[in-house]
C-alpha cells in the first residue's frame, strides 16, 4: 500500500557523499518510500515505475537542516541586546524576557511567531530550549507538533543564582515540575515532539536539582541538553561553585547527565580542556557549535576541527538569541568564517572548515541526534528542502554543487524555500 510519504522528487539534487564532499545529480530523482530515502538516481528505476513524481526540475533539492541548539523564548528579542557578554546579557536581556512566559497569553503569541518562522526556515528538526514554565513549554510543544517539524523541547530547570522572577523555589519544586511536564508529554502522545531535560547550566542549578535530573534521566531514558564552557567568566564561576570539579564537564558527568551514548547535547564547548574533551567523547555527547552566538556575545571560537578529527558528534546551533537568525544556512556560513579567523589568528594547527564540511554539519552532523537523518543515502529518514535559487542572479553557468555552495552564503539574498519535507511528509 503506497502512502502519501511515497514519491519521487525530480530536480537538481545535492547531499553529502562524505563529511568533505558533495554528491549531486543534475535533473535526477530522489525516491522516498514510506518516509525513507531509497537514494538518488539519474533515471527513475523501473521498479519505481508508477510512483508519484513531484516535478521540481531546475530547482535544488537538498537534505533538511537540524538546529541542535536554539532558545524559542529568545526569538522575540533576536537582534537586540548584542552589546554585552554572556553573564551580563543573561541578566539584562534574557532573564527579563523569559520571565514573560509565565503569562500564557504572551507565550501563545510569541511561540506562534517562533513556530511559524521556524516552519518557514531551512530547519526540519531542532533541539529547543523553552523556559522554566511548564504551561508555556507545553504550549510551545503543541505548536511545534502541529508544524510537522521534528523537535526535542526542554522545560528549563533553574533553581539558584537567578533573579527571583525567574527562579524555581527549590530543587524539590523544580523536579516535581519536570515530572509533571514529562507525564503531560506522555499523555499527549506527540508524534513529532519529544521532551528533553534542560538544566540551564551549572551556575543556575543546585546539586540537588542536578542529582534529581540525573535520576529522572536514568529512570525515564529522556535525553538532556545544556551549555558547556561557553565563556571564560562562566567557566571561572563554575570552578568557584564546584571546587570539587577539575573541569566544567565533570559538573554534568557527576550527576549522570552525559550518559546514554549520544543522548546529550552540550552547546558551545569553546574552551573544553583535554579532560573535558575525553569525557565528551566517552559518552558520545553531541557538541552544538554556535558560531554566530559565539561571535555576538564575544564568547570565543570552538575548535570544531579538533572535535571532527577526534570523530566526535558535532552539529550546528543558531543559539537564538545569542545568534540573531534562525537560518541554518547562515549558521553554516558563519561556521566556515569563524574557523578561518581561528586558524589565522589563534591556532594554525587546526585547518578551517570547508563549505562542504559546514553543509555536512548542518545536515548529517546535527541530524544524527535524531537517528539516520540528514542525508539522501538509502535508509535515511527523508527530510528535504526544495530551493529556488533563480533569483540569486549570475551570468555564470553553474553546476549543482556550486549552486548549493553559493546558496549557503546567499540564501538570504533571493533564495526561496519552495517545499519542505520532514520524514517524507510535506510540511511546507
Ligand atoms: N548559558 C545559560 N543560559 C544561556 C542562554 O540562554 N544562552 C546562552 N548562549 N548561554 C547560556
Ligand atoms: Fe544557548
pLDDT tens per residue, range 200-225: 999 999 999 999 999 999 999 999 99
State whether the beta carbon of 97 lies less than 6 angstroms from ligand 1: no
CB 327 within 8 A of CB 121: yes
CB atoms under 10 Å from CB of 286, counted, come to: 28
State whether the beta carbon of 200 lies less than 6 angstroms from ligand 1: yes
Q: Which atom of ligand 1 is nearest to the CA of 297?
A: 9
Alpha helices in 163-206 (DSSP H): 171-188
State whether the beta carbon of 75 lies less than 6 angstroms from ligand 1: no
The residue nearest atom 9 of ligand 1, judged by CA position, is: 322
As a dihedral over the C-alpha atoms of residue 272, residue 273, residue 277, residue 280, rounded to 10 degrees, the angle is -60
CB 224 within 8 A of CB 198: yes
Q: Note the ligand closest to the C-alpha atom of 318.
A: 2
Distance from the CA of 120 to the center of ligand 1, in angstroms? 25
Domains of the chain: 7-63+376-426 (2.30.40.10), 65-370 (3.20.20.140)
Average pLDDT of 17-32? 98
Distance from the CA of 223 to the center of ligand 2, in angstroms? 17
Distance (Å, whole) CA 192 – CA 424 = 13
Q: Which of 51, 16, 66, 18 is nearest to 422 (CA)?
A: 66
Query: Which phi-psi region, left, alpha or beta, contains residue 107 (left: φ > 0; alpha: ψ -120 to 50)?
Result: alpha
Per-residue CA distances from 342 to 275, 276, 305, 329, 420 (Å)? 22, 20, 10, 20, 34
Give, for ligand 1, the residue of 81, 227, 288 to mutate: max count of ligand atoms closer than 8 Å to Cβ: 227
Model pTM above 0.95: yes
Distance from the CA of 341 to the center of ligand 1, in angstroms? 23
- Eight-state DSSP code of residue 200: -
Distance from the CA of 271 to the center of ligand 1, in angstroms? 15
State whether the beta carbon of 125 lies less than 6 angstroms from ligand 1: no
Cβ contacts of residue 409 below 8 Å, gap of 6+? 329, 333, 355
The residue nearest atom 3 of ligand 1, judged by CA position, is: 200
Average pLDDT of 307-314? 98
State whether the beta carbon of 93 lies less than 6 angstroms from ligand 1: no
Q: Taking all residues of the chain, what is their mean pLDDT, rounded to a whole number?
A: 98
pLDDT tens per residue, range 163-183: 999 999 999 999 999 999 999
As a dihedral over the C-alpha atoms of residue 370, residue 314, residue 223, residue 199, rounded to 10 degrees, the angle is -140
ipTM above 0.90, yes or no: yes
The residue nearest atom 7 of ligand 1, judged by CA position, is: 322
Average pLDDT of 114-143? 98
Distance of CA 138 to the CA centre of its chain: 19
Distance from the CA of 319 to the center of ligand 2, in angstroms? 5
| pLDDT at residue 262, as a whole number | 84
Q: Which atom of ligand 1 is nearest to the CA of 299?
A: 9
State whether the beta carbon of 319 lies less than 6 angstroms from ligand 1: yes
pLDDT tens per residue, range 266-303: 999 999 999 999 999 999 999 999 999 999 999 999 99
Amino acid at each position: 500500500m503506497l502512502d502519501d510519504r511515497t514519491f519521487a522528487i525530480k530536480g537538481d539534487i545535492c547531499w553529502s557523499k562524505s563529511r568533505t564532499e558533495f554528491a549531486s545529480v543534475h535533473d535526477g530523482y530522489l525516491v522516498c518510500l514510506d518516509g525513507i530515502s531509497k537514494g538518488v538516481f539519474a533515471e527513475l528505476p523501473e521498479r519505481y515505475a508508477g510512483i508519484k513524481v513531484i516535478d521540481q526540475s531546475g530547482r535544488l533539492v537538498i537534505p533538511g537542516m537540524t538546529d541542535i541548539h536554539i532558545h524559542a523564548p529568545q526569538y522575540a528579542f533576536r537582534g537586540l541586546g548584542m552589546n554585552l557578554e554572556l553573564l551580563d546579557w543573561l541578566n539584562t536581556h534574557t532573564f527579563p524576557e523569559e520571565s514573560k512566559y509565565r503569562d500564557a497569553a504572551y507565550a501563545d503569541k510569541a511561540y506562534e511567531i517562533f513556530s511559524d518562522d521556524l516552519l518557514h526556515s531551512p530547519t526540519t528538526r531542532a533541539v529547543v530550549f523553552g523556559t522554566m514554565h511548564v504551561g508555556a513549554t507545553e504550549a510551545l510543544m503543541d505548536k511545534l507538533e502541529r508544524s510537522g517539524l521534528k523537535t526535542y523541547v526542554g522545560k528549563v530547570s533553574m533553581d539558584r543564582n537567578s533573579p527571583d522572577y525567574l527562579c524555581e523555589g527549590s530543587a524539590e519544586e523544580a523536579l516535581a515540575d519536570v515530572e509533571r511536564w514529562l507525564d503531560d508529554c506522555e499523555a499527549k502522545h506527540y508524534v513529532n515532539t519529544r521532551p528533553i531535560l534542560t538544566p540551564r547550566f551549572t551556575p543556575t542549578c543546585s546539586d540537588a536539582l542536578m542529582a534529581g535530573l540525573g535520576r529522572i534521566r536514568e529512570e525515564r531514558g529522556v535525553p538532556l541538553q545544556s551549555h558547556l564552557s561557553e565563556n571564560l567568566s562562566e567557566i571561572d564561576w563554575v570552578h568557584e561553585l564546584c571546587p570539587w570539579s577539575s573541569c566544567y564537564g565533570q559538573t554534568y558527568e557527576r550527576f549522570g547527565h552525559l550518559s546514554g551514548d549520544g543522548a546529550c547535547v552540550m552547546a558551545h564547548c569553546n574552551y573544553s580542556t583535554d579532560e573535558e574533551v575525553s569525557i565528551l567523547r566517552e559518552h558520545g555527547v553531541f557538541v552544538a557549535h554556535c558560531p554566530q552566538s559565539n561571535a555576538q556575545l564575544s564568547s570565543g571560537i570552538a575548535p570544531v576541527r579538533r572535535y571532527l578529527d577526534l570523530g566526535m558528534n558535532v552539529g550546528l546551533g543558531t543559539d537564538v538569541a545569542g545568534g540573531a537568525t534562525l537560518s541554518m544556512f547562515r549558521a553554516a556560513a558563519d561556521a566556515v568564517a569563524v574557523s578561518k579567523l581561528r586558524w589565522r589568528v589563534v591556532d594554525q594547527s587546526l585547518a578551517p572548515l570547508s563549505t562542504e564540511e559546514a553543509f555536512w554539519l548542518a545536515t548529517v552532523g546535527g541530524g544524527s541526534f535524531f537517528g539516520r537523518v540528514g542525508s539522501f543515502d538509502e535508509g535515511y529518514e527523508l527530510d528535504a528542502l526544495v530551493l529556488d535559487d533563480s533569483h540569486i542572479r549570475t551570468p555564470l553557468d553553474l553546476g549543482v554543487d556550486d549552486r548549493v555552495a553559493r546558496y549557503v552564503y546567499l540564501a538570504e539574498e533571493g533564495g526561496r524555500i519552495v517545499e519542505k519535507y520532514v520524514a517524507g511528509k510535506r510540511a511546507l
